[in-house]
Amino acid sequence: MKLRPAIGRWVARADRLNDWRRTRLHHARPRHPLEIVPYLGFGTPQRLQLGGRVLRLVEHRAPQADDLAWRNLVAIYRRMASDEVARARVRASLGGLTVETRADDEGHFQLAIDTGTPLEPGWHAVALELLAPLAPGAAPATACARVLVPPPAARFGVISDLDDTVLWSDVRNRLRMLALLLRSNAYTRKPFEGVSALYRALHRGAAGGEGNPVFYVSSSPWNLYTPLTDFLRLQGLPEGPLMLKDFGDHMLFEPLDHARHKLRCIEQIFGTYPGLRFVLIGDSGEHDPEIYAEVVRAHPQRVLAVYIRSVDPNPARHAAVAQLAEGVRRARVPMLLVPDSLAVARHAADAGWIAPQAVESVRADQREEETAPRVSADAGAEDGRQPPPAQAAT
């Protein structure tokens, strides 16, 4: 008998039993105030897609730039130890339209609203209300979800990974990744040099004001949704939907779940915008090149380019990515293994996807980030990131 799958099944059964116990307790007699945590949604003028999570209310202290490591550790622990409300009933309202849904066993809910009258482009507010369970004496839990309808001027969309693509996480070294996560917050984590200016340029497009939508698809857990959205806002990155993963036993015992999650999310985005092509951005640390190559094979006409940030200095990994890139190029889609954001900006400007002057903005942003103070991941490191390797295959 293979031990790892067996352990995974045992953990999954224990998790389901615990969810069932908590569901009975929450629905029979909620002991604490509850909250709805809405996620940024997306859609079209005719149909909106959104979601969120129902949790036991926990007050979270806002992070500060000078927070000590122990404060960050406590904050992360409180988020990872969230107490979800399984099978909660939620109602969404937009104008005179209402839709009701029920959360899953982890408190997550997803719903769609058919708008009838087409909506204008931009962000739309959808009111959320918790219908059940209700804590005795507590005010009804409400929230506001914001949903993006891209403008007709959008020429393409961007689908980007987060860890080791936008911000340094070192997912290949789990201990270092954990240390960096526990010692930092949205203020002290920094993006890779030039990322903010690059993504703003892609969002604006070559003509400026195109409003090209940006989607962040990551295997980070939903528990980190608020810190990640805070990070994007503080770093001036374009606002866009985050599509994360549930934190549970499958993250430890299903190694292929990372790829399945990303492919499922990309298919959902592609299906929502059938007339839009996309730029895919990831890194060489885990499986982004393989995932994006599979996307190109399935949808060769939907992908403009694939950019892979080089974070793994192993020559064997460079060779593997180069082989994938050769296969992708047969579909007439460039896949570039790049050392930094400036290399992406140059290629995108040459292709006519961003304004030529945006290249200098990325260069300036890169210089500024290189001199900015950074959080240490361990006592022996000077900063919380590693510079990308100088060598890169294209």
DSSP string, 70-86: HHHHHHHHHHHT--B-T
For residue 246, is it within any domain?
yes
Name the domain count of the chain.
2
CA distance 111 to 96: 16
For residue 358, is it within any domain?
yes
Q: Are residues 179 and 114 in the same domain?
A: no
Which pLDDT belongs to residue 178? 60
Other CB atoms within a 10 A radius of the CB of residue 372 amount to 10
The phi-psi region of residue 50 (left if phi > 0; otherwise alpha if psi is between -120 and 50; otherwise beta) is beta
Q: Pick the last residue of a domain from 101, 120, 148.
A: 148
CA distance 10 to 12: 5
Helices (H) and strands (E) in the chain — how many of each? 11, 13
C-alpha Rg value of the chain to the nearest Å? 21
Q: Are residues 140 and 179 in the same domain?
A: no
Residue 99 bridge partners (DSSP): 92
Q: Are residues 273 and 362 in the same domain?
A: yes
For residue 394, is it within any domain?
no
Question: What angle, rounded to 10 degrees, do the helices at 341-350 and 358-370 form?
Answer: 180
pLDDT in tens, 99-133: 999 999 999 999 999 999 999 999 999 999 999 99
Indicate the residue type of 40.
L
CATH number for the domain that contains residue 320: 3.40.50
Task: State which residues of the chain have pLDDT below 70.
Answer: 1-31, 60-61, 64, 67-70, 72-77, 170-183, 185-186, 247-256, 369-394
For residue 130, is it within any domain?
yes
Q: Are residues 347 and 220 in the same domain?
A: yes
Residue 122 bridge partners (DSSP): 149
Q: Are residues 51 and 189 in the same domain?
A: no
Q: DSSP 3-state assignment of 30?
A: coil
For residue 383, is it within any domain?
no
Q: Are residues 109 and 164 in the same domain?
A: no
Q: Are residues 194 and 63 in the same domain?
A: no
For residue 384, is it within any domain?
no
Q: Pick the last residue of a domain from 114, 148, 182.
A: 148
Q: Are residues 334 and 289 in the same domain?
A: yes
CA distance 66 to 253: 37
The structure tokens 């002991």 sit at: 31
Which pLDDT belongs to residue 170? 61
Which pLDDT belongs to residue 388? 44
Q: Are residues 223 and 322 in the same domain?
A: yes
Q: Are residues 173 and 114 in the same domain?
A: no
Angle at 322 between CA 302 and CA 349, to 5 degrees: 50
In terms of pTM, does the model score above 0.75?
yes
For residue 187, is it within any domain?
yes
Say if residue 133 is preceded by a cis peptide, omega within 30 of 0.
Answer: yes
Which pLDDT belongs to residue 29? 52
Query: Which residues does 225 contact at the CB level (< 8 Å), separation at least 6?
Result: 37, 39, 242, 244
Which pLDDT belongs to residue 9? 45
Q: DSSP 3-state assignment of 365?
A: helix
Which pLDDT belongs to residue 171? 56
Query: Which residues does 330 contact at the CB level (< 8 Å), separation at least 6?
Result: none
Question: What angle, rounded to 10 degrees, do the helices at 288-298 and 315-329 form?
Answer: 10
CATH number for the domain that contains residue 31: 2.60.40.10
Would you mind telling me the total number of residues written for the chain in this entry? Answer: 394
DSSP class of 163? B
Q: DSSP 3-state assignment of 142?
A: strand
Q: The tokens of 75 are what?
A: 């904050």
Q: Are residues 308 and 352 in the same domain?
A: yes
Domain that holds residue 137: 3-148
Q: The tokens of 305 are what?
A: 């380019």
Contact of 340 with 347, CB cutoff 8 Å: no
Which pLDDT belongs to residue 252? 47
Q: Pick the last residue of a domain from 148, 176, 194.
A: 148
Q: Are residues 316 and 230 in the same domain?
A: yes
For residue 362, is it within any domain?
yes
